[in-house]
């Protein structure tokens, strides 16, 4: 019964004066908000939102809502294969050196960092370990785009790799190898939804 109610269509026109029903403005009731001030349903296109806060759902750290940061800066990472959480363990080595192992809690994915001899954030350790050919290629392209000097900054080897990719070359020595690294946990955004017409708050998500 509930599913039937959520799937029923409600007409939410752009203009209340429209006389003919336009099927483009029929929306499942389960996707709508209700404005108590206007006493009408509001489709997503008839609303706007404001960010109330950003936080990491793994460690509960809160971040400024004005921040442009979209991932957790703490040691929270997710599996690149299945997006599940990663269990992190530390292994001690000679002379105070350490390495870190990331193990997925849901699939066989495992990532082992290189040995480090001075304290660093895990994010920086992973970034420094990105030495596969695909990561190097992306980094060179990114640096070229940011500096607006792609032709001058890109290496000859990278240029050849791009040409081979475009031609669909399949020679083993030219295959670009892509390794999968742990992803920083994306922040959860808490937002308030408002009615476009009267600016009344409709919901908090």
Residue 157, classed as helix, strand or coil, is: helix
Query: pTM of the prediction?
Result: 0.63
Q: Based on the structure, what is the number of domains in the chain? A: 2
Residue pair 83/56 in contact by the 8 Å Cβ criterion: no
71 in a structural domain? no
Whether residues 98 and 43 fall in one domain: no
Q: Could you tell me if residue 169 is inside a domain?
A: no
Q: Rounded mean pLDDT of 90-116?
A: 93
Residue 200 lies in a domain: no
By the 10 Å C-beta count (0-12 exposed, 13-18 middle, 19+ buried), 75 is classed as middle
8-43 burial by CB neighbour count: b if 16+ within 10 A, else e? eeeebbeeeeeeeeeeebebeeeebbebeebebbbb
Q: Is residue 15 scored above 70 in pLDDT?
A: yes
> What local confidence, expressed as pLDDT, does residue 111 receive?
94
pLDDT at 17: 72
Q: What is the pLDDT of residue 79?
A: 96
* pLDDT at 107 exceeding the cut of 80: yes
Dihedral, 94, 99, 105, 109 alpha carbons, nearest 10: -120
Q: What is the pLDDT of residue 65?
A: 82
Q: Tell which wins on pLDDT, 159 or 202.
A: 202
pLDDT value of residue 133: 65
On the CB side of 145, CA atoms within 13 Å amount to 6
- Separation of alpha carbons 205 and 191, rounded Å: 5
- Provide the residue range defining the domain that includes 133: 77-142+180-184
Q: If you average pLDDT over residues 51-69, what whole number do you get?
A: 88
């Amino acid at each position: 019964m509930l599913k039937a109610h959520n799937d029923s269509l409600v007409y939410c026109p752009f203009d209340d004066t429209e006389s003919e029903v336009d099927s483009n403005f029929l929306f499942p009731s389960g996707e709508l908000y209700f404005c108590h001030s206007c006493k009408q349903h509001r489709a997503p296109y008839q609303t706007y939102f404001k960010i109330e806060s950003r936080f990491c759902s793994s460690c509960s750290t809160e971040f400024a809502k004005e921040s442009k940061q979209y991932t957790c800066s703490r040691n929270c990472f997710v599996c690149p294969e299945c997006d599940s959480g990663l269990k992190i363990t530390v292994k001690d080595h000679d002379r105070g050196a350490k390495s870190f192992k990331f193990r997925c809690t849901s699939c066989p994915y495992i990532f082992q960092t290189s040995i480090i001899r001075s304290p660093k954030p895990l994010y920086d350790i992973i970034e420094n370990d990105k030495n596969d050919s695909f990561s190097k290629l992306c980094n060179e392209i990114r640096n070229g785009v940011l500096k607006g000097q792609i032709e001058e900054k890109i290496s000859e080897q990278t240029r050849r790799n791009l040409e081979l990719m475009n031609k669909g070359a399949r020679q083993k020595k030219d295959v670009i190898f892509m390794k999968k690294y742990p992803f920083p946990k994306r922040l959860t955004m808490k937002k308030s939804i408002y009615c476009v017409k009267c600016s009344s708050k409709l919901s908090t998500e």
